[in-house]
Amino acid sequence: MSSNAASMTMDGSPYVVTVLGATGSIGTSTLDVIARHPDRYRLHALTAYHSRERLAALCQSYRPEVAVIGNDDDARWLRDHFAELKLDIDVRCGDAALVEVSQAPDVDVVMAAIVGAAGLLPTLAAVRAGKRVLLANKEALVMSGALFMDAVERHRAVLLPIDSEHNAIYQCLPSEHRQGLSRHGVTRLLLTASGGPFLGWGVDELASVTPAQACAHPNWSMGRKISVDSATLMNKGLELIEACWLFNATPEQIQVVVHPQSVVHSMAAYSDGSVIAQMGNPDMRTPIAYGLAWPERIDAGVEALDLFQVARLDFHPPDEKAFPCLRLAREAMAFGETAPAVLNAANEVAVEAFLSGRMPFNGIASLVEEVLENATLVKANELDVILEEDAKARWLARRHLSKRF
Ligand code: NAD
Ligand code: MG
């Protein structure tokens, strides 16, 4: 019996994995971890939206059974490309194909690493098919909260958070935490935030920052949307909502702590005064490897943490005046109904507008606030309703955008 046998499926075969958003930052880190353990994992599908060359190169290296791309033209190009290379990879395209490869019977594990609302349907499909779902795509959970968590329970999916903070908290909590935090003596969840590239900046200084500055995160290398979210602190706001759903917590039970070194990834505080933290170098391969191997541990290719080199750890409260997105997210979660979905949709439109130079940085928070004030919020108990309210919020955001900028 090989030393890896315990981590294989019951019949000793490798885990079969679909990577949604394979060409992104999380997707490529996932493939890096998988490549370190070729006997433990086999790839069913890799998916991408536009970047056909990048997807082709990943398929050539990692040999999945299926490749999914966003449109017909790119699918044709990929088919020709694979035929030339004599690679037997089935090429599919569009949203229906994303759902197919997420719920395919052979698949054990789905890495949900599409960015934004586009990830909701395939991630939910994986949940409904009872897969082990590694959740990086926080927007999917923010949009559909209760419905998503109900589906996890009903279909006995295994949901493991990949967002580094939530992965840290998951590691700091007892396994039965969803029964209620207070039952386990947990008093608070401490969600750490690096503070992003503009930590310490005031409203006036933020007025003229550029997309390039916003995307230059000091500690993490990430996709452009989450980089902007980190710069506005909307990322922490989305994460606060994500933590409420994942850990069955109220917004009041979650304290955001700015920690510029990004070494403590988050903490759980207990009634006896204990605070349990998870630490490590800021490298997403740690939470990804945790999710892939759970409940075991595998090598992630991450350098060991050198505390002497870290030397000091700083913690302070966030500046919600300069970064109002955190407050907006907390209020949306406290309000409930479709408020988090509306917040998320407006933010996606606002970030896109900022990245394309149509709106200043401070406009992101004000646009989100304006959309929340003008949206009609309804109960978020059906998928169709959530998708409809998401579409309405985007329409509202675009209308406000064209009026103001
Ligand atoms: P990214 O922009 O680098 O990659 C996004 C991936 O999604 C790409 O493969 C892209 O082709 C695909 N995609 C984009 N739009 C799509 C669409 N409409 N339909 C289908 N596929 C589409 O993003 P990322 O930084 O890897 O982040 C992915 C998710 O993980 C986000 O939800 C982000 O918040 C979350 N996350 C990322 C990090 C990180 O360090 N990068 C950390 C925590 C959480
Ligand atoms: Mg995070």
- Ligand 1 atom closest to Cα of residue 26: 26
- As residues whose CB is below 5 A from the ion ligand 2, the structure lists 163-165
Residue nearest to atom 27 of ligand 1 (CA): 115
Low-confidence ranges of the chain (pLDDT < 50): 1-6
Centroid of ligand 2 to alpha carbon of 326 (angstroms): 14
Q: 2-137 sits in which CATH class?
A: alpha beta
pLDDT value, residue 2: 35
pLDDT at 5: 38
Q: Does residue 324 have its Cβ closer than 6 Å to ligand 1?
A: no
* pLDDT score recorded for residue 6: 43
The predicted pLDDT at position 7 comes to 53
Query: pLDDT (tens digit, 9 = 90+) per residue, 357-382?
Result: 999 999 999 999 999 999 999 999 99
pLDDT at 158: 98
For residue 1, what pLDDT is reported? 30
- C-beta of 139 in contact with ligand 1 (< 6 A): yes
- Domain residue spans of the chain: 2-137, 170-404
Q: How far is the CA of 164 from the centre of ligand 2 (A)?
A: 5
What is the dotted CATH code of the domain comprising 170-404? 1.10.1740.10
Q: Which of 20, 23, 26, 387 gets mutated to test ligand 1 (max ligand atoms within 8 A of its CB)?
A: 26
pLDDT at 142: 98
Q: How far apart are alpha carbons 46 and 172 in whole angstroms?
A: 31
For residue 36, the model assigns a pLDDT of 98
Q: What is the pLDDT of residue 8?
A: 66
pLDDT of residue 219: 87
